[in-house]
Amino acid sequence: MSSKVLLGAENIDQVAWGAINGCEAASLLEGLHYQGRALDLNYGQFLLQMPISADNNPYHGFGGSPFTNRPGKFEAIFTRPLLWWGNRYGHLQELSGANPQWLYDSVTKGNPVLTFVTVHFEQPDWDSYPFGQVPANNHAVLLDGIDSDQVHVSDPIDGQYWLSKAKFEFIYQTRRMAIAINK
């Protein structure tokens, strides 16, 4: 019996929609659609509903704009406001702080996981903001598959692909931020 699991979530190309900073919303919608939720919303409609932070703090909502880079702004949204927003459409579970096996267990149970990583899974490039240290190359992907030594992601920039668990875990563990999108 194979230990390989591939949920087959869709891939939303954030750049094709002009949302150069819209990875969290794309990954969230991929997971919601996989679970049969928010099917009446396309990515553009979903982005228009994303909570925006008045103080540009990604812990309060999306900081800046998903469509442009603004100097001094950190264009992202972190787990707390994503949970608040996403739970309007489905059943989300905070997994931040979890060891990678918890993420894999979620996928094995049929629940993809929005995971904060870095663009192209490169080494984090840390920046300081009033709300804390964050990687300038922040990125979010949807973890939707596992195998003995690989994981599968639906990446809103680079498409769908397998990569080594070691590389995934190294980047995930720099922040340990994740949300399961449950049935």
pLDDT reported for residue 169 = 98
Q: Which pLDDT score, from 0 to 100, does residue 2 have?
A: 60
pLDDT of res. 1: 45
Say whether pTM exceeds 0.75.
yes
Q: What is the mean pLDDT of each run of 10 residues along the chain (183 residues)?
A: 87 97 98 98 97 96 93 94 97 97 98 98 96 96 97 98 98 98 96
Instruction: Give the CATH architecture of domain 5-182.
Output: Alpha-Beta Complex (3.90)
Answer whether 78's CB lies under 8 Å from 175's CB: no
Report the Cα 137 to chain-centroid distance in Å. Answer: 13
The pLDDT tens digits of the residues spanning 99-125 come to 999 999 999 999 999 999 999 999 999
User: Which tokens belong to 117?
Assistant: 């990583």
Question: Torsion-angle region of residue 58: left (phi > 0), alpha (psi -120 to 50) or beta?
Answer: alpha
* Helical (H) or strand (E) element with 34: helix 23-34
Q: For position 17, what pLDDT does the model report?
A: 97
Sole residue written with tokens 């195998």 = 147
Residue 122 burial (CB count, 10 A): 12
Q: Can you name the residues that pair with 129 across neighbouring β-strands?
A: 132
Burial of 92 (0-12, 13-18, 19+ CB in 10 A): buried
> If we measure between CA atoms, which residue out of 92, 137, 132 comes closest to residue 114?
92
Which residues, in sequence order, are bridge partners of residue 164?
A: 150
Backbone angles phi, psi at 129, to 5 degrees: -135, 165
* Residues contacting 112, CB < 8 A, separation 6+: 7, 9, 30, 31, 34, 35, 106, 142, 143, 144, 154, 180, 181
